[in-house]
Each structure stands twice: as C-alpha cells, then as structure tokens.
Amino acid sequence: MRLPKAEDRDLCVRTRRFAARIIRLYVSLPKSAEAQVIGKQLVRSGTSVGAHIAESNRGKSRADFANKIDGALQELDESRYWMTLLIDTEIVRPDRLRDLIDEAEQLTAVLVTIASRTRRNEKQ
C-alpha cells in the first residue's frame, strides 16, 4: 500500500519541514535543564512523524499502512503536548509556537483522513 504520488511527495516534504522546524526550535531553546529535557522529547517526537510516513509507504498491507499512519498521528499528538508544555512553563512564548502547532494540527487532519479512508477501503 502506498500513498498516491502527489500526496506522498507533499506529506514527505511537509513532515521533513516540520522536523527541521522542530530541530531549529530546539537549538534556540534556553540551555536550562527544563528546556533541554522538554526540547529533546519534542525533537524525538517531531522528527519521528516523517519517519512513520516513509515507513507507511512500505506497508505490507492496508492494515500495516494504517498502523504506520497511526504511529505518525501519535507522534504528532506527543509533539503538540511538548510544545504546549513549553508554553505552559513559560519557556517559549505562545506566539512563537503558534504556526508550528497549527502545522501539527493540519498534518493531523490529513493523516486522520488517510487512516479513515484506508480502513474504510480495507473493509470493502
């Protein structure tokens, strides 16, 4: 099972850009222990999204494909959690993360649609 070519390219590019933005955010965080701990968690989850998308294209079945998409969704949820924690602990101003959180939400919407369609087609 693979994503359609155009959708595949778009998701691969978007998730790679998302990961790059997460890495740049981490590099710019204060060097305090709290900021670094949260930042490292964010880097792990934020860079894993694209890896799950890449893996999904090698899925052995529709169910495997959908499971990889679910993995990407879990990483997006975790990324939003860490970004929110950076805001809640006043390490980063909300306006600085607004666009990155918005991208995470947009990617989530796209992936939920893909997973839902895949599961619906699997039952047919």
State pLDDT tens for residues 80-98. Answer: 999 999 999 999 999 999 9
What confidence score (pLDDT) does residue 48 get? 98
Residues of the chain with pLDDT under 70: 1-9, 122-124
**47: domain range?**
5-123
Helix, strand, coil shares of the chain as percentages rounded to 5? 85, 0, 15
The predicted pLDDT at position 118 comes to: 87
Digit-coded pLDDT (tens) for 29-38 = 999 999 999 9
Domains contained in the chain, number: 1
- Tell me, what CATH number does 33's domain have? 1.20.1440.60
Burial of 61-79, coded b for 16+ CB within 10 Å and e otherwise, reads eeeebbbbbbbbbebbebb
